[in-house]
Amino acid sequence: MTSALPDEAWRLLTEWLPGNDDPERPQITLSTVDEDGDPDARTVLLTSFGPDGFLFNTDGASRKAAHIAAHPAVAMTVLWPGFTHQLVIRGTAAPAPADRVAAAYRSRSPYLQQLAWLNTHEFAELPREERVAAWAAFEEAHAGVFEQPESWVGYLVTPTRLTFWSSNGDTASQRVEFARAADGSAWSRRYLAG
C-alpha cells in the first residue's frame, strides 16, 4: 500500500490515527454488503494499519465475515480524534495472514480474549445470572489464560479511496480525498466540500 499511496495521505494517516502500539484503539464503523446486496454496518476496533492495509479482527462465523466472503468491498468510517476529524476508507477486505491474526489476539486484553471464546448466540440467549456464572467459571477453568480460538480471524483492507474530513472553527469544514485509478496505476487528489 505505501508504495502507491501519496506521501500526503500517509502523513495524514500517521498524524490522525494513534500508533499501532497505543492501547487506545480507534472505533470504526465497518460497512459491508450482504449476500443479497443489502447494506449493513457495525463498530469494530482498528487493530493496526500499515503498508499492507488496515487490519481489524473478528469472529470467522460472524455475519460480517459472510458478507465479506460474498462481497469483499467494504467501507470504514473512523471518527478520530473526537468529532473534529473523520476518515472514510473504501477498499477491499482479504483474510489477514495467520501471524498477524495471532499477534492481534495476543495484543487484546484478557477480557477481549475471553470474549472471543464466549461471544456466541447460544451464550447470548442465557439469562443474565447464568451468563455471569458461566463467564466466571470459564475464567477460573482457564486460570485467566486464553489460547487463541480457531474462530478468531482478521481482515486486511486495501484502500481504493481515502477521504479525510476536518472541521474548522473559523471557516468551512473540508475534505481531501485520495482515490486510486481503477487500474491501480496512480492516485489522484481532490478537495471536496465538507
Ligand X SMILES: Cc1cc2nc3c(=O)[nH]c(=O)nc-3n(C[C@H](O)[C@H](O)[C@H](O)COP(=O)(O)O)c2cc1C
Binding site for ligand X (CB under 6 A): 27, 40, 42-45, 56-59, 62-64
- Closer by beta carbon to ligand X, 122 or else 140: 122
- Closer by beta carbon to ligand X, 146 or else 178: 146
Q: How far is the CB of 96 from ligand X (least distance, A)?
A: 13
Tell me the DSSP string of 74-113.
Answer: EEEEEE-STTTEEEEEEEEEEEPPHHHHHHHHHHS-HHHH
Those residues with Cβ within 8 angstroms of residue 115's Cβ, 6 or more apart along the chain or in another chain: none
Q: How far is the CB of 27 from ligand X (least distance, A)?
A: 5
- Closer by beta carbon to ligand X, 42 or else 190: 42
**Kind and range of the H or E run holding 179:** strand 174-180
Those residues with Cβ within 8 angstroms of residue 22's Cβ, 6 or more apart along the chain or in another chain: none
161 SS3 class: strand
Q: How far is the CB of 136 from ligand X (least distance, A)?
A: 22
- Closer by beta carbon to ligand X, 69 or else 137: 69
Q: How far is the CB of 25 from ligand X (least distance, A)?
A: 8
